[in-house]
Amino acid sequence: MTGAAIAGLGTTAMGKVYGRSSTSLAAEAVRGAVADAGLALTDLDGLLVSSGIKQDVGVGLAAVLGLQDLSVLNQVNAFGATAGVMVAQAAQAVAAGTASTVACVFADSPLKPKESAGSTYGAPQRSGRGRPVRGYAGWSVASGATNPNILYAMCARRHMERYGTTSEQLGEIAVAQRSWAARNPLAQMREPITLADHQESRWIADPLHLLDCCLVSNGAVAVVVTSADRAAGLARPAVHVWGYGQAHAPRRMQAGSDWGLVTPAARSGPQALRMAGVGVGDVDVAEIYDCYTYTVLVTLEDYGFCAKGEGGAFVADGRLAPGGTLACNTGGGQLSSYYMWGFTPLSEAVIQARADGGERQAPRNDVVVVSGNGGILEHHSTLVLSPHARSGR
Amino acid sequence: MTGFPQVERDDTSAAFYDAAAREELLMQRGPSGTVLPPEARTDPASGSADLEPVTVSGDGVLVSWAVVHRAPLPALADAVPYVSAVVELAEGPWVIVRLVGDICSLSAGDPVRARFVRSGAPEDPGEVLPVFEPVATGVTS
């Protein structure tokens, strides 16, 4: 129990939102989150800023928003783990009294008209056609494994080889999330898909099909973190931060490595649950970072929803779909809804904790877990959220 | 052999590419004895930055792989579909490499061995690169 709560949520339009800078989107999301909480921008004394692959939103956002008297101002980057790290930092600032009301915002605008989504994440600085690639980077480019699709495919393959996990089991995750997305008006992809659609979708990097891979989106999301006491008197139901954790294991490429099989989620998840004073069996809603279907599977294992190696069986038979036994990625996640790094699962967690999910509201929401994963399964953050103050549960 | 973008050495990588031109695979070794990939800067076992070059056998096993159907970069567009792999060298380090040769039937743990290919186009060649191939069907070069 941290004594902090999320009091406001702001989101912009998502997806093919053209002609807006990341900074402009970020400013809109912060304004939205502050208004949602029933606060004014002048109530903020903290701002944490994060942006996507281009890192094109910085602390200058404070000036854009006219914030002239802040106690906390930082740019945060733990890749896909950033959202959880930011909320933890905001909660720590609130607990320490160094700030009372902190906005955390993520914005990204990698999509351009007439450019493929994939090209935005392909390390364009090393694209190299007609120009030699220099140094060790040349050997790396020649390996052909120059983007996350390929490295995550190798992680998924390793799990398949070790534990017998199948492409169909990964497909179950994609199908379940699309069926949640069909009920989410914010989602970019709402047309239902079948397991056959997943299997027939083109290969990106075998064993990953197109429908194993996340979207790319333009947009922004912000939350406002304040003390639980203050949040209780604001406009919207407080979403209490019961626990947080983070763990980092940058690529260990050495004999004996469990790379791709066990991720830092195995330390981050239990750490957050321990702080929250709950077990994995208490979790009602799991918003699990899903840059790929495989990320969901391995994170569920690492959090302890099932034993290592049993993730494939665990996600089968619609367990994660509406009506299944674990409400997971209830907005459709990054596979079907929108790709705002860790702010995708965080935003949906806030919606579920407030019981604002409408057609997709999970039947129970007392304990909501949010995961963030970054790098190639190298960075992880976890939040445990609840509509209840810890003592009042 | 096609589909390898033209690679050019820099000061840091010159010894590695010189070794590759001799069909030798050059890694590094830290004070703890840990063998590390050529671009490593620190021995994680000791925290030391004092690394020395070491020539390794070129033998290894397949850790994992992906069959890439969608080129991540324009420079690789002519190469798809190709296989990228993680290989565990006999001396310990993992390297991310291109896998060539008979790649129809692969399993984790398969023995693989380094071979060496010239990067770039024949009329505009670059450095020699280490790649790997399955041992069972491989043609030693």
What is A282-318 written as a DSSP string? Answer: G-SEEE---SBHHHHHHHHHHHTSS-TT-HHHHH-TT
Instruction: Name the closest residue on chain B to residue A126, using Cα atoms.
Output: B73
For residue B81, say if its preceding peptide bond is cis, omega within 30 degrees of 0. yes
DSSP annotation of A66: T
Task: Tell me what pLDDT residue A301 has.
Answer: 98
- The alpha-carbon gap from A28 to the nearest alpha carbon of chain B, in Å, equals 33
Task: Tell me what pLDDT residue A263 has.
Answer: 97
Q: What angle do CA A155, A121, A152 make, to 5 degrees?
A: 5
Report the range of poorest mean pLDDT among A36-40, A266-270, B16-20, B40-44: B40-44
Please tell me which of the candidates B8, B64, B69 has its beta carbon nearest to residue A161: B64
Is A18 designated active site?
no
Average pLDDT (A252-257) is: 89
Q: Answer whether A208 sits within 8 Å of B66, measured CB to CB.
A: yes
Could you give the residue ranges of the DSSP H alpha helices within chain A?
Answer: 22-37, 61-64, 82-96, 136-143, 148-163, 167-181, 195-200, 228-231, 265-276, 293-303, 311-315, 333-336, 343-353
Identify all chain B residues contacting A153, using CB atoms and an 8 Å cutoff.
66, 68
Q: Answer whether A118 sits within 8 Å of B82, measured CB to CB.
A: no
Burial of A169 (0-12, 13-18, 19+ CB in 10 A): buried
Q: Answer whether A134 sits within 8 Å of B98, measured CB to CB.
A: no
- The alpha-carbon gap from A145 to the nearest alpha carbon of chain B, in Å, equals 6
> Which neighbouring-strand residues pair with B94?
B88
HEC sequence for A331-366: CCHHHHCCCECEHHHHHHHHHHHCCCCHHHCCCCCC
Rounded Cα–Cα distance for residues A119 and B134 (Å): 31
Rounded Cα–Cα distance for residues A222 and B76 (Å): 38
Using alpha carbons, list the distances in angstroms from residue A307 to A158, A302, B119.
Answer: 17, 8, 45
Burial of A363 (0-12, 13-18, 19+ CB in 10 A): exposed
> pLDDT, tens digit, for every residue of B71-95?
999 889 999 999 999 999 999 999 9
C-alpha distance across the termini of chain A, in Å: 12
DSSP annotation of A202: P
The answer to whether B37 contacts chain A (CB < 8 Å) is yes
> pLDDT, tens digit, for every residue of A92-146?
999 999 999 999 999 999 998 877 666 666 554 444 456 899 999 999 999 999 9
The answer to whether B88 contacts chain A (CB < 8 Å) is yes
> pLDDT, tens digit, for every residue of A58-86?
999 999 999 999 999 999 999 999 999 99
The answer to whether B10 contacts chain A (CB < 8 Å) is yes
The answer to whether B41 contacts chain A (CB < 8 Å) is no
Instruction: Name the closest residue on chain A to residue B27, using Cα atoms.
Output: A136
- The alpha-carbon gap from A140 to the nearest alpha carbon of chain B, in Å, equals 7
Identify all chain B residues contacting A131, using CB atoms and an 8 Å cutoff.
6
> Which neighbouring-strand residues pair with A221?
A11, A106
Identify all chain B residues contacting A376, using CB atoms and an 8 Å cutoff.
none
A219 neighbors A188 (Cβ within 8 angstroms): no
Identify all chain A residues contacting B34, using CB atoms and an 8 Å cutoff.
254
Instruction: Name the closest residue on chain B to residue A125, using Cα atoms.
Output: B73
Which is catalytic among the residues A292, A294, A338, A339?
A339
